Amino acid sequence: MSGNTLDIINKNRAGKFYEVQPERVNIEPFTMVIFGGSGDLSKRKLLPTLYHLCHDQNLPDEFTIIGFASSKRSHEEYRELVKTALKNFSEDGFDEGCWENFSKHLFYISGGFDDVNSFKNLSQMLEKYSKPSEKGSREIIYYMAVPPQFLPVIIQQLSNCRLCKGMFNTRLIIEKPFGRDRASAVELNRLLAQAFDENQIYRIDHYLGKETVQNIIFFRFANSMFEPLWNRRYIDHIQITVAETLGIENRAKFYEQAGVVRDIVQNHMMQLLSLVAMEPPISFEADYIRNEKVKVYKTILSMDEEYIDNFTVRGQYGAGTVNGKKTVSYRDEKDTLPASNTPTYFAGKFYIDNWRWAGVPFYLRTGKRLHSRITEISIHFKQPPLSLFRYSCEVLTPNILVLTIQPYEEISLHLGVKHPGIGNQLYPVHMNFNYEKDFHGNFHFPLPYERLLLDCMKGDQTLFARQDGIEAMWEIVDPIIKRWENTRPPDLPSYTAGTWGPKEADEMIARDGRKWQIQ
């Protein structure tokens, strides 16, 4: 035998299991069609991100961006609109030299989504501008930066004009909301599936583009010291908080229809929950990771009405003071209904009914106009089996691992150590890893959209939601939405802006002998 057993196994594993994708993957020449290329999302996020990628030379020399919207404007007028947007929203400022190059790649189609001639025009422009890759394929990305009611007509038009499959290698990026309940999500997925294969569809959730969110997987599965403890034997409970200081920011029309569960819980919070709770995937490939996430959604204990009444809390913000500024109540925001019952706060207790997590509560809470802007996952470990130090401090704080995602990205381990001195005092300390400080100056931190757009260009679906995942997430929250819509809400508003939410949420967790990590 030429090598020992371990060498032989590792040689065979290399590539199959442990191959990490290289930092830079060659991106083929592409054309991106932005439906709604003049809208808010395009101006604030997409176009600045594409400009930034161009500035950093992360785009190929050959690329074309076509904005598609109803207002009449020439290519030149569209370039002016984009220039203004970049000046207003580009986080890295505006550079004339880069703009000169970037603007040459910008084009515009004016036309209604229901107008077949606009799509014929699109087809001709794709013929003209899309450059074949070395392999001869022509890569087209459709970005749906439009309100959801336009999706069916756009997909139908693309399909009728044979622009979904065939002569172009196409991908489709869709923004949330992916439906407003399970039934509509199934219907949307059915519609998409008529025109595109699942491997062409990229359902974007910008939360998954954040470094710390991706790092949850790296942290868990690259460090052997935590994974053995990552289960019901050692973990007492887990908390996930997504707190915003903002109100609804002129989005009343959307928010009145959505509410906090559709806006945040069904997508961002479920994604975070699944990354923390999932089993190790057998490989770092998109579908292996997404398989494990879907298994988590499917094992979350379903909630009947009694459960929902006891273990979820809804709220709506009243007037208050946030970050030193007076703010109005939700009902006084522009375009909300004066007696609106739309919830802006959610707290709830979830259980994952599998071998690893049986009996471990996951407390989730999120809300608008809360005390601080923070997104955080805290893993609370069980107390040691014997209270050897009960005389040295009043309360023993358990070990807590805190993964902070916003407003800064940090991992912090809370430990108990001996306080220096002749006594035997136990003292809580934190071991911190901070992304900004620890990698400062050495790395560029990609913005969430930057990372996700590049992934789509490379054809990597890992950070995008799959059809079955979306439907499973709705299945978890549908009963909560329904119960809340069918029962009398508590007296609203139920919390003052600038606080940590309704007292009922504190009471819910206190009934289990626990408290919120952030308060």
Ligand X SMILES: NC(=O)c1ccc[n+]([C@@H]2O[C@H](COP(=O)([O-])OP(=O)(O)OC[C@H]3O[C@@H](n4cnc5c(N)ncnc54)[C@H](OP(=O)(O)O)[C@@H]3O)[C@@H](O)[C@H]2O)c1
Catalytic residue numbers read 268
Distance CA(494)–CA(284), nearest Å, equals 44
Q: Which of residues 48-77 bind ligand X (CB under 6 A)?
A: 69-71
Q: Does 40 bind ligand X (CB under 6 A)?
A: yes
Q: Quick one: tokens of 217?
A: 């997987």
When the beta carbons of 70 and 231 are compared against ligand X, the nearer one is: 70
**Candidate ranges 140-148, 209-217, 281-289, 503-511; the one touching ligand X (CB under 6 A):** 140-148
CB of 364 to ligand X, least distance (A): 21
CB of 147 to ligand X, least distance (A): 5
Q: Which helix (H) or strand (E) holds 5?
A: helix 5-13
- Characterize the bridge pairing of strands 495-497 and 317-322: parallel
Q: Name which of 37 and 315 has its Cβ closer to ligand X.
A: 37
**What are the CA-CA distances from residue 298 to residues 258, 348, 451 (Å)?**
23, 17, 28
Angle between helices 75-89 and 47-55 in degrees, nearest 10: 80
Say how many Å lie between the first and final Cα of the chain, rounded. 62
**Does 86 interact with ligand X (rule: CB under 6 A)?**
no
How crowded is residue 336: how many other Cβ atoms within 10 Å of its Cβ?
20
Q: Pick one of 126, 146, 208, 472: the residue that binds ligand X (CB under 6 A).
A: 146
Q: What is the dihedral of CA 108, 109, 111, 114, to 10 degrees?
A: -120
Q: How far is the CB of 176 from ligand X (least distance, A)?
A: 6
**Shortest gap between Cβ of 394 and ligand X (angstroms)?**
46
Is residue 335 at the binding interface for ligand X, with CB under 6 A as the rule? no
38, 40, 250, 484 from 336: Cα distances, Å: 26, 20, 10, 18
d(CA 260, CA 368): 8
Phi and psi at 475, nearest 5°, equal: -60, -30
Phi/psi of residue 51, nearest 5 degrees? -60, -45
- Residue (153 or 167) nearer to ligand X, CB: 153
Place of tokens 């961002």: 268
Judged by CB under 6 A, does residue 147 bind ligand X?
yes
- Edge-to-edge, what's the strand order for the sheet holding 317-322? 325-327, 317-322, 495-497
Q: State in angstroms the smallest separation of the CB of 188 from ligand X.
A: 12
Nearer to ligand X, 44 or 131 (CB): 44
Compute the least distance from the CB of residue 257 to ligand X, in Å: 11
CB of residue 377 to ligand X, shortest distance in Å: 22
Please state, in angstroms and rounded to a whole number, the distance separating the CA atoms of residues 393 and 383.
14
- Shortest Cβ contact with ligand X: which residue? 39
Window of 37-45, 54-62, 354-362, 393-401 that interacts with ligand X by CB under 6 A:
37-45
169 vs 245, beta carbon nearer ligand X: 245
Among 27, 126, 145, 275, binds ligand X (CB under 6 A): 145
User: Pairing between strand 374-381 and 400-406?
Assistant: antiparallel
Query: In one letter, which amino acid is 358?
Result: A
Contact between 314 and 484 (Cβ < 8 Å):
yes
Q: Which two tokens stand for residue 414?
A: 């809370």
Please give the size of the binding site for ligand X, defined by CB under 6 A: 17
Integer Cα distance of 80 and 369 in angstroms: 35
Single out the residue of 30, 113, 297, 330 in contact with ligand X (rule: CB under 6 A). 113
Q: Least distance in Å: CB of 258 to ligand X?
A: 9
334: Cα separation from own chain's centroid: 27
- Identity of the residue, 179 or 446, whose beta carbon is nearer to ligand X in the bound complex: 179
Which residue's CB is nearer to ligand X, number 44 or number 180?
44
407 binds ligand X (CB under 6 A): no
Q: Verify binding: residue 473, ligand X, rule CB under 6 A.
A: no
Looking at beta carbons only, is 41 or 273 nearer to ligand X?
A: 41
The reply on whether position 346 binds ligand X by CB under 6 A is no
Q: Which stretch binds ligand X (CB under 6 A): 35-43, 276-284, 362-370, 401-409?
A: 35-43
Q: Can you tell me whether residue 318 is helix, strand or coil? A: strand
Q: Give the SS3 label for residue 255.
A: helix
Closest approach of ligand X to the CB of residue 123, in Å: 16
Interface stretch with ligand X, choices 144-152, 349-357, 405-413, 445-453 (CB under 6 A): 144-152
- Residue 180 engages ligand X in binding (rule: CB under 6 A): no
Cα 354 to Cα 299: distance, rounded to the nearest angstrom: 6
Tell which one of 27, 29, 36, 230 touches ligand X (CB under 6 A): 36
The one among 112, 280, 384, 407 contacting ligand X by CB under 6 A = 112
39 touches ligand X (CB under 6 A): yes
Inter-CA distances, 333 with 246, 248, 312, 344, 354, Å: 12, 8, 25, 12, 43
Binding site for ligand X (CB under 6 A): 36-41, 44, 69-71, 112-113, 145-148, 175
